[in-house]
Structure 1
Amino acid sequence: MRKAWIPGIAVLVSVFVSAIAWAATYDSILNRWTKTRDFADRGDSLSISATYYSAEFIEATIQQEADRNLWTADELERYKYQFLKTLNVEDTIPVKLSFDNRGAALHMAPFGKQVWLWIGGKRYEPKDYDPRLNMRVMDKIEGLVYFPRFDEKTGKDLLKGVKSVKLEISGSISMTLRAKTAEFVWDVANDNPERLFAGKAGAKLEMDRLIRRLEKLNGEKKDLEGKLEQLKLEIEKIQARMNELQKQ
C-alpha cells in the first residue's frame, strides 16, 4: 500500500518544486520591469514604483495565472484575450504606477498633465489613466496609465526601432520632490510586443484594432470628400463670375 503512495508523492513534490521555480522566475521578470525611486525631505518620504507592461511581463503574468488555476490551452487563450483587452495593449502602452506617501498629501490632478512617456525623443501624454490618480493622496495608491502605442496621424508603431523609453512624473505633485521630476527608464530594444498577438487571442485583438483604425480612416475620408465638394462648388462659382465679368 505504501509503495502505491510513492509515485503520487513524487508527482506532488515535482509540482511543488516547479511552482517554486516558476514563482522565482516571475519575480525576476517583475523586478526587471519595475523601477522604484525614493525621495525624502524634512522628515517626509515618497516612494514611487513604475512597472512597464512589456511583452515579457504580460506573458509571464498570464502564464502565472494559468499555472495557478491549472487552465487548459483554450482557457488560457480566453483569459489572455480578456486580459490584453483590459490592458488595451492593441492601442496603448500600459504602465502601472504605485505611490507610497509618508508626508504631506499628494496633489496630482489632473494627472494626465503630470506624467509623460518619452519615445524616440518625443513626449507623449496619456490617452487614459485610472481616475483614482486624480485623488488627494495621504498614504498609498496605485493605478494604470495608458500611453499611445501608435502615431495618431500615420498609424505608425511608436516603439518600432526604439531602444529605450522614459517615464517622467512632474515634481509639482509633492513637496517631497522639491520640484524635481521622477524619471524611470526601461531598455525595450529586445522587447517584442508583436508576439502578444500570436495565437487566437492576439489575432482577435489585432482585428479589433484594425476595425477601429478603418472606421477612423473612413470617417476622415468622408470629411475630406465633403470639403472637396465644397471647394469644387466654390471654384465653379468663381469661374462663373469670371465669365460674367469677361462679357461686360
Structure 2
Amino acid sequence: MKLRQFLLTVLCSIFILGITSPGFANEKILSRWAKTNHYENDIGSEMWVTATYYASEYVDALVQSEAEKNLWTADETEQYKYQLLKTLNLNAYIPIFVAIDNRGPAMHMAPFSDHITLWVGKKKLQPVDYDKRFNFKLQGKRDGFIYFPRYDEKGKPVLQGVKSIRLTINGNVSPVTMGKTIDYIWDVVDDNPEKLYTGKAAARLELDRLIKRLEKLNDQKKELEGQLAEVESELQQVQKRVEELQRQ
C-alpha cells in the first residue's frame, strides 16, 4: 500500500512539474497563436489550413522552445533569434505564416494575394509580399509567409488601438471549401514587437540597418558630388566667358 502511494506521489509530481515547466509553457503559447481549421466534403476529401500570427509572445516562446530542444548555447540562441527577426522584419510588416495540407482536388490560388485579406478593425489589408509558391497548383503540403503592411500611407501603425485582427482566405480556392470562408482571429491588444529588439540579436539587426543606411547615404553623396562637379565646371565656363567679354 505504501509503495502504491509512493508511486502515485511520484507520478503526480512528474505531472505537476511537466505542466509548470518552461517547455510546457512555451508549447501552450505556441498553440495559442497557431490556429488550425479542418475541412472535408461529402466524398472524403480533406484539407487542413494553419495560420500563425507572429506575436512578440509567440516569437519569444519559439526561440526558447528551439533552444531547449536543440540544447543551444546563449550565442546559438541569439543567432537563431537574429535570423528569425531578420526574416520576419517586424519593423515594417505584419507576418503571418500559412500552412496548407490539401488531401483533395488540386487548389488553384493564383494570384494568391487576391484570395487572402487581413482585417484590422474596418481596414482591409492586402499582402505586400508573400511566398510565390502559393500561386502554383497545390495538392499535398505547402507553407510560407504572408506579409501585410504594419503602417498606413501616413506612417501610422495599423494595429494602434486595435483589439483583434482577422485573417480571411477565400474558400473558393478549393472544392473542399467552396462557398465557405476560412477565418482566423487573434487578440493583438497586448502585442508589442518592440520588446523583441533587445540583446545581441537586436544589436546585429540595428547594425544591418545602419550599414544599409550608410550605403544609401554614400550613394546620395556620390550623386551630389557629381552634380556639384557639373555646376563647378559650368561656373568656370561662364566665368571664363565673362572675362573674355570684359576684355573686349
Structure-1-length-normalised TM-score: 0.71
Partner of residue 9, structure 2: none
- Describe the SS at the equivalent of 1:42: coil
CA deviations 1:2-46 (Å, max 9, x no partner) are xxxxxxxxxxxx9xx78x933322221121011122222222222
Residue number in structure 1 paired with 2:35: 35
Q: Which residue of 2 aligns with 1:106?
A: 107
**Which residue of the partner structure matches residue 141 of structure 1?**
142
What is the Cα deviation at residue 204 of structure 1? 4.7
One-letter identity of the residue aligned with 1:191: D
Residue 168 (structure 2) pairs with residue 163 (structure 1): no
5+ long unaligned stretches in structure 1: 1-13, 220-248
**1:208 Cα deviation after fit:** 5.6
Q: Distance in 2 between matches of 1:82 and 1:102?
A: 32
User: What corresponds to 2:69 in structure 1?
Assistant: 68
TM score, norm. by length of structure 2: 0.71
Q: Deviations over 1:102-154 (max 9, x none)?
A: 22111111111110111121011111111211121112222211111122x22
Alignment of 1:43-62 (within 5 A): 43=43, 44-62=45-63
Which residue type is aligned with residue 64 of structure 1? S
Cα deviations by residue, 1:70-114 (Å, 9 ceiling, x for unpaired): 444344333322210012222111111111222211111111111
Q: Secondary structure at the match of 2:166?
A: strand
Q: How many residues align?
A: 203
Which runs of no fewer than 5 residues in structure 2 stay unpaired? Answer: 1-13, 221-248
Report the Cα distance in structure 2 between the residues aligned to 1:22 and 1:189, rounded to whole angstroms.
Answer: 24
Change (3 A) 1:96 1:156: same
**Is residue 116–residue 126 contact of structure 2 (8 Å, CA) maintained in 1?**
yes
The alignment's C-alpha RMSD in Å is 3.0
- Distance of 1:81 and 1:138 partners within structure 2: 33
Shift of 1:68: 3.4
Question: Equivalent residue for 1:246?
Answer: none
Contact 1:90-1:205 within 8 A present in 2 as well: no
Summarize the Cα distance change of 1:210–1:161 in structure 2 as closer, same or farther, 3 Å threshold.
farther
Q: Higher Cα Rg: structure 1 or 2?
A: 2
Counterparts in 2 of 1:136 and 1:101: CA distance versus 1, 3 Å: same
Q: Kindly tell me: are residues 139 and 121 of structure 1, through their superposed partners in 2, closer, same or farther at Cα, counting changes over 3 Å?
A: same
Instruction: Work out the CA distance in 1 between the residues paired with 2:128 and 2:84.
Output: 19
Q: Which residue matches 1:82?
A: 83
| Residues 107, 139 of structure 2: 8 Å contact kept | yes
Distance 2:128 2:121 in 1: 18
- The alpha-carbon deviation at position 212 of structure 1 amounts to 7.7
Residues 89-238 of structure 1: pairs in structure 2 closer than 5 A: 89-151=90-152, 153-205=153-205
CA distance 1:154–1:211, change in 2 (3 Å): farther
Residue 113 to residue 81, structure 1, CA distance change in 2 (3 Å)? same
After the TM superposition, which of the residue ranges 205-214 and 60-69 deviates more from structure 2? 205-214
Q: Is the 8 A contact 1:46 1:102 kept in 2?
A: yes
